[in-house]
């Protein structure tokens, strides 16, 4: 059963362009000869690595979108592991995520259609009444008498 995968690998930054093309073609032939299909190849270019890997600070990133079965991906990963020019790789299965996203999109489209059918035509809200800008005369404020701190009165002492 074919599943979709994203295979990203990082190649040494000192690799020549011709050698890089040869390496990419080699991995593509592994997939196609095994019965899989490479749907997309993205060269993301030379980028800085987050940490030093095999004494390299930079690497050339390549992303493959592959449709294949599990044993073929295992063989591709084995070849990535033993190839000296590849310094790091990761494989992510994306078919489950694509299925989930398609389901969410279908539900969202269904809700949009239902709400569009049920909702009446939008009515513009009434415009607010214009407010005239009249100057307001300031009324003098009476000064309040100062409030003294009140202490509780002492009860008269009777002898």
Pair 69, 1: CB distance under 8 Å = yes
Pair 42, 62: CB distance under 8 Å = yes
Q: Give the pLDDT band of residue 16 (cuts 50, 70, 90).
A: very high
Separation between Cα atoms, residue 38 and residue 26, nearest integer Å: 12
Helix (H, G, I), strand (E, B) or coil at 26: helix
For the chain, the 3-state helix, strand and coil shares in percent, each to the nearest 5, are: 35, 30, 35
Helix (H, G, I), strand (E, B) or coil at 86: strand
pLDDT tens-digit profile of 93-110? 998 888 888 888 888 888
Separation between Cα atoms, residue 58 and residue 48, nearest integer Å: 4
| Residue 158 per-residue DSSP state | -
| CATH 3.40.50.10860 describes domain 3-98 | no
Residue 154: the pLDDT is 60
Residue 112: the pLDDT is 80
Separation between Cα atoms, residue 6 and residue 41, nearest integer Å: 10
User: What is the arithmetic mean of pLDDT over 32-52?
Assistant: 94
Q: Domain limits of the chain? A: 3-98
Q: Give the pLDDT band of residue 47 (cuts 50, 70, 90).
A: very high
Q: Give the pLDDT band of residue 42 (cuts 50, 70, 90).
A: very high
pTM: 0.63
């Amino acid at each position: 059963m074919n599943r979709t995968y994203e295979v990203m690998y990082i190649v040494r930054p000192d690799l020549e362009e011709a050698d890089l093309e040869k390496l990419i073609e080699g991995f593509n032939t592994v997939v196609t000869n095994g019965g899989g299909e490479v749907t997309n190849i993205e060269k993301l270019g030379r980028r800085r690595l987050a940490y030093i890997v095999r004494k390299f600070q930079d690497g050339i990133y390549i992303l493959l979108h592959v449709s294949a079965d599990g044993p073929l991906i295992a063989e591709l990963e084995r070849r990535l592991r033993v190839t000296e020019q590849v310094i790091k790789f990761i494989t992510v299965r994306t078919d489950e995520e694509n299925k989930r996203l398609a389901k969410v999109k279908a539900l969202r489209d269904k809700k949009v259609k239902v709400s569009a059918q049920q909702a009446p035509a939008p009515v513009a809200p009434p415009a607010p009444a214009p407010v005239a800008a009249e100057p307001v005369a300031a009324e003098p404020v009476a000064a309040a008498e100062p409030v003294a701190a009140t202490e509780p009165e002492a009860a008269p002492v009777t002898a």
